[in-house]
Structure 1
Amino acid sequence: MSAILSADDLNDFISPGVACIKPVQNVSGSKDGQQDEVEIQIDQDGEPLEVSKADGEASKLNPAQISLSDCLACSGCITSAEEVLVAQHSHNELTRALEENRTQQTKKVFVASVSHQSRASLAGAYGVSVAVMDKLLIDLFVAQMGFTHVVGTSLGRSLSLIYEAQNIIDRKTRGVSGPTLSSVCPGWVLYAEKTHPYVIPHMSDVKSPQQITGCLLKSLVARELGISRDNIYHVSIMPCFDKKLESARPEKYDGELPSPDVDCVLTPKELVTLIEENTNIYSLIPPHTDITKLPQPASMSNIYKQVAPKTWPSIELAWASNEGSSSGGYAYHYLAALQLHLMASDPSVYNPQEFELVTVGGRNSDVYEMRLLFRKEKVGSAAVVNGFKNIQNLVRRLKPSKSTVSSNPLANRRRARLAKANKSDDSSDTDQADPSKCDYVEIMACPNGCINGGGQISPPGDVSAKEWLASIIDRYRSIETISLFDSPDARAVSDIIHWSSQFIDEFNISEMRLSKTYFNTVEKPTDQAALLLGTKW
């Protein structure tokens, strides 16, 4: 169990459309230790040479190498600037921060949030239930490492699900064309920004559970302890390495709450490495810990309550899960919210007994579509698309058509045949899912979604990857769920919205700061020297 990336972690692959960019170190120098001024030239064989301007001595340049440390587990490519950000979010950085805090007069307060998928992965690795792992994690952070508060990400996820559903319904009501694409997966967001910026107008700007949880947790703890947010160090346990980049993304509305909402992101692999490298912590979680010997209150609710901020709205909202996919259930919750919206808009017409939710498979198990039917007629649809191979197919279908038709007659005939075939397929659209025609698409970069994130713990050598993933999904499904939109009056939704409105007023921040993100188109490099020195895959 190591946090070091290996080839096994790269469970999906995509070839970047631009050259990977990495700093090139100049290792040449004069005999007295002073570096000579050099220039790059191309010899007659097309090979790059480094030529000294002082004496004309030429030497061949070695090809630039991109190592696994330059890449994220589920991102298409990573720049050198991003690699620095990733290095700032490591178990070594957390250890350093804890050590510095012991020697400084101004003490930082450490808090943590733990995602559902990470809890399931750790529980599977140590052969315990998720509830038992929650106890161990709380004891690890609070008793062993001195953290003051630990929460699950359920409250942040619930708000993200509600904001997302409202956003899609609003776009649908306004007649916005094309599907709304989720943006809670940072690997997918990076890919879109770097290679397919034309899909950005389709992307939802609702924040992920990690970022919303960070904003809530830091603000509530700061007020409870009477300290500045700057003095709070928030560690987020996430299933994906790309979450490190998401946490480092500057806030668009940082004037309201300038300090970052998440200071360090660790994956389950890195957390295990942290435990193994600190023997006093490792002794807490051997493979067969006797749970009865750990000091604990009578119930899990009491445990959760003891380590949550006093003003956390609901203990159940701290650790409970949701229905739908193991990535959060965004597609499912949109359709559940849409049904409630239609029932509220005209109760005399939309009888809840006449709604039906059907699932339609796609080309593989990582693509499927859910359709909300009323009296057998489709009133809404949402798709789930996991893995970059399927994402590529989706973004190709969303690419704007060119204004001019190709002059190649063979290409025109082929295009006509494909159009005819697609038209034939549309006549029986219940046969196969088509995410490009849905209202909403839940997109995750990793195959099988977040439960199979690149930072999750790998299976033991005697267990197949398929069997291991199935066992982790079973543990994820064992987490108690809360229903947001299933009740006729959606009481849970109204309570959460009411509480979040109070939070916004009390802390004098905007709803945009709490719930909205943004996207940037990453320009392709045009510097020929950079393209020459960069290595293309």
Structure 2
Amino acid sequence: MSAILSADDLNDFITPGVACIKPTDEQNRGDRPNQELEIEIDGSGQPMEVTKEGNTTRLQKAQISLADCLACSGCITSAEEVLMAQHSHKEFLNALKEHKDDMIFVASISHQTRASLANALGISWEYVDKLLIKLFTERLGFAKIVGTGLGRKISLKQMSQSIIERKYGSEALNKPVLSSICPGWVMYVEKTHPFLLPYMDRTKSPQQITGLLLKRLTAAEYDIRPTQVYHLAIMPCFDKKLEAARPESDEQMDVDCVITPRELVQMLQEEEIDVDSLLLSVQNDADYCDVKVLYEHFAPKNWLGPTESWYNDEGSPSGGYAFHYLNEVVKYAVGNLGAKVESLEIRSVGGRNPDIYELELVNNDTGESIATSAVVNGFRNIQNMVRKIKKPSGESIGNVRGRMAHRKRRGDASNKKTANTVSIDPLKCDLIEVMACPNGCINGGGQISGPSDRYSAKQWIQKATDIYNSIPLSIEPDSAEMEQWITAWLEKFTVCNSRLLKTTFRKIEQPKDTATIALTSTW
């Protein structure tokens, strides 16, 4: 979702013709960038560019790609536009000034955000963590700051367990489960393909789970109400703002404001906070030598695994949902199916491009494929996936299995062995991890872009990915320990299980005024 938002239409659904914000291409204007021009229609109905001297140039038709549309804010509803405006660094700063004495401020930072900042500043992820902690606690007066790792672990566990229960329970898993962690993908389904909603997993994202935990535990520590805790989340994507604004059953906000790394940098510039001076103070501060001590010190009391909350998880740079599901199936297969852990192997099967691939859990003793998952990133791949899911008649998935198949060699990344040429079909998998952005969350719309004169977009994303992967992997809390902690926490704060773990979806109706749509949808 673009940071540029328009309010040109009073209708709830802003139609593309009214609010398209794709910038015009200036590069074809040659040596006349400031010349006065007019647009006229010639006798054949073609648009012509006319100069003051009467010279004419035929204009090209505007080309609007899918990427242009989905990077634009023109198709968000006007209600969503208001919500987006509320989640800005300016609104956050206003709240900080207005409520500094009567609210406790806390922050959560995503792994992708830290990688983006480290990439832009040319420092390690560890120094970024120290920098952020010093910035928010000492310069801005925050009481608590955590990584989103705990919320992610709970989210990973919840999604994986729910699919395993369906796969090996009474309910046959005859269709892929579609992840719902990406709000851009969720809004796309709600607005354009609501027939997919029954197949979307309802697990909450790490942002929202972290928000509930952070506000409630901070409130308990300071003996105040959760509404007196202001939670700022720094996330890689603008759509996370709309996710934060989704209604909860008790109408309490778990995330008060979401800003992106790009907005954070803008805020530092506007507030005249010098990053180099801040880094120097971090280097000269003896209390900032051990980052693990900082993790522990600034986490709320009774937070499970303060250090682990900043550490990483194996799998994709979007959280690793596809990988983690198979890792959970490994535990189930060893405990319930009599499989030997040393015989189980997770293999990667490449797709037609790096943004679509499959993971397969294989028992090497029997040659059996136990479980499969897939990663589908970017709307180009998403559109193909949706097209194959949907019957020509428009009916929903059922047992229909589309074909996204193509030939690739299967290889194990660890031992470089390859097997026979095979086809992949994400729609035959148990779980599809779906992310709107190409390359996933590491390439979120709010991430910091690199200098184009030094790096290509691909090189810059790879640098950020390498930094993300350099964050140490966390040791997953024992399942029983995590379950006991969550149960005790839920009982103490009288929060129901579904409030912590599950979200809801809704079909968003298109505008009914077809005449208005016809008039305003011309490009």
TM-score by length of 2: 0.80
Aligned residue number for residue 33 of structure 2: none
Q: Provide closer, same or farther for how the CA distance between residues 178 and 289 of structure 1 changes in structure 2, counting only shifts above 3 A.
A: same
Aligned residue number for residue 490 of structure 2: 504
Aligned residue number for residue 526 of structure 1: 512
Where relative contact order (Cα < 8 A, 6+ residues apart) is larger, the structure is 1
Cα deviation, residue 401, structure 1: 5.1
Look up the equivalent residue of 1:369 and give its one-letter code: E
Is structure 2 residue 159 aligned with structure 1 residue 164? yes
Q: Provide closer, same or farther for how the CA distance between residues 183 and 74 of structure 1 changes in structure 2, counting only shifts above 3 A.
A: farther
Gaps of 5+ in 2: 6-12, 21-44, 46-63, 396-400, 409-418
Cα deviation, residue 109, structure 1: 1.1
Aligned residue number for residue 219 of structure 1: 216
Aligned residue number for residue 348 of structure 2: 359
Q: Distance in 1 between the 2:402 and 2:434 partners?
A: 26
Q: Distance in 2 between the 1:341 and 1:324 partners?
A: 19
Cα deviation, residue 76, structure 1: 8.9
Q: Distance in 2 between the 1:229 and 1:115 partners?
A: 22
Query: Which has the higher mean CA deviation after the structures are superposed, 321-330 or 462-471?
Result: 462-471
Cα deviation, residue 283, structure 1: 2.0
Q: Distance in 1 between the 2:127 and 2:309 partners?
A: 16
What are the residue-to-residue correspondences of 1:465-484 with 2, within 5 Å? 465-484=457-476
Aligned residue number for residue 134 of structure 1: 129
User: Are 1:73 and 1:242, in contact at CA under 8 Å, matched by a contact in 2?
Assistant: no
Map Cα deviations across residues 192-225 of structure 1 (whole Å, 9 max, x no partner): 1111111111110000000000000000000100
Look up the equivalent residue of 1:294 and give its one-letter code: D
User: Are 2:405 and 2:425, in contact at CA under 8 Å, matched by a contact in 1?
Assistant: no
**Secondary structure in structure 2 of the residue aligned to 1:504:** helix
What are the residue-to-residue correspondences of 1:33-112 with 2, within 5 Å? 73=71, 77-102=75-100, 107-112=102-107
Q: Distance in 2 between the 1:522 and 1:250 partners?
A: 14
What are the residue-to-residue correspondences of 1:328-347 with 2, within 5 Å? 328-346=319-337
2:369 corresponds, among 378, 381, 399, to 378
Q: Distance in 2 between the 1:245 and 1:22 partners?
A: 21
Look up the equivalent residue of 1:115 and give its one-letter code: S
Q: Distance in 1 between the 2:93 and 2:355 partners?
A: 38
Q: Provide closer, same or farther for how the CA distance between residues 494 and 77 of structure 1 changes in structure 2, counting only shifts above 3 A.
A: farther
Look up the equivalent residue of 2:256 and give its one-letter code: D
Q: Provide closer, same or farther for how the CA distance between residues 130 and 419 of structure 1 changes in structure 2, counting only shifts above 3 A.
A: closer
Q: Distance in 1 between the 2:346 and 2:404 partners?
A: 28
What are the residue-to-residue correspondences of 1:138-537 with 2, within 5 Å? 138-173=133-168, 174-251=171-248, 253-254=249-250, 258-279=251-272, 282-285=273-276, 289=280, 291-346=282-337, 349-374=338-363, 375-400=366-391, 402=393, 431-461=422-452, 462-484=454-476, 492-532=478-518, 534-536=520-522
User: Are 1:21 and 1:79, in contact at CA under 8 Å, matched by a contact in 2?
Assistant: no
TM-score by length of 1: 0.78
Cα deviation, residue 309, structure 1: 0.5
CA RMSD of aligned residues (A): 3.1
Percent identical among aligned pairs is 46
Aligned residue number for residue 116 of structure 1: 111
Q: Distance in 2 between the 1:402 and 1:167 partners?
A: 31
Q: Provide closer, same or farther for how the CA distance between residues 99 and 403 of structure 1 changes in structure 2, counting only shifts above 3 A.
A: closer
Q: Provide closer, same or farther for how the CA distance between residues 302 and 529 of structure 1 changes in structure 2, counting only shifts above 3 A.
A: same
Map Cα deviations across residues 160-189 of structure 1 (whole Å, 9 max, x no partner): 000010111122222032100000000000
Aligned residue number for residue 16 of structure 2: 20
Q: Distance in 1 between the 2:493 and 2:243 partners?
A: 23
Cα deviation, residue 287, structure 1: 9.5
User: Are 1:140 and 1:284, in contact at CA under 8 Å, matched by a contact in 2?
Assistant: no
**Secondary structure in structure 2 of the residue aligned to 1:431:** strand
Q: Provide closer, same or farther for how the CA distance between residues 74 and 23 of structure 1 changes in structure 2, counting only shifts above 3 A.
A: closer
Q: Distance in 2 between the 1:516 and 1:169 partners?
A: 17
Aligned residue number for residue 27 of structure 2: none
User: Are 1:362 and 1:434, in contact at CA under 8 Å, matched by a contact in 2?
Assistant: no
Map Cα deviations across residues 477-519 of structure 1 (whole Å, 9 max, x no partner): 11111243xxxxxx62322222111111111111100000011
Cα deviation, residue 430, structure 1: 5.6
Aligned residues: 451
Map Cα deviations across residues 288-331 of structure 1 (whole Å, 9 max, x no partner): 74642235244211111111101112122221110000000000
Look up the equivalent residue of 1:463 and give its one-letter code: Y
**Secondary structure in structure 2 of the residue aligned to 1:296:** helix
Look up the equivalent residue of 2:482 and give its one-letter code: I
Aligned residue number for residue 407 of structure 1: none
Gaps of 5+ in 1: 7-16, 25-45, 47-65, 405-417, 485-490
Q: Distance in 1 between the 2:379 and 2:404 partners?
A: 25
**Secondary structure in structure 2 of the residue aligned to 1:357:** strand
Q: Distance in 1 between the 2:88 and 2:403 partners?
A: 52
Look up the equivalent residue of 2:374 and give its one-letter code: A
Q: Provide closer, same or farther for how the CA distance between residues 423 and 534 of structure 1 changes in structure 2, counting only shifts above 3 A.
A: closer
Look up the equivalent residue of 1:324 and give its one-letter code: G
Query: Which has the higher mean CA deviation after the structures are superposed, 504-513 or 458-467?
Result: 458-467
**Secondary structure in structure 2 of the residue aligned to 1:455:** coil
Q: Provide closer, same or farther for how the CA distance between residues 197 and 187 of structure 1 changes in structure 2, counting only shifts above 3 A.
A: same
Q: Distance in 1 between the 2:335 and 2:255 partners?
A: 38
Cα deviation, residue 108, structure 1: 1.3
Look up the equivalent residue of 1:259 and give its one-letter code: Q
Look up the equivalent residue of 2:333 and give its one-letter code: L
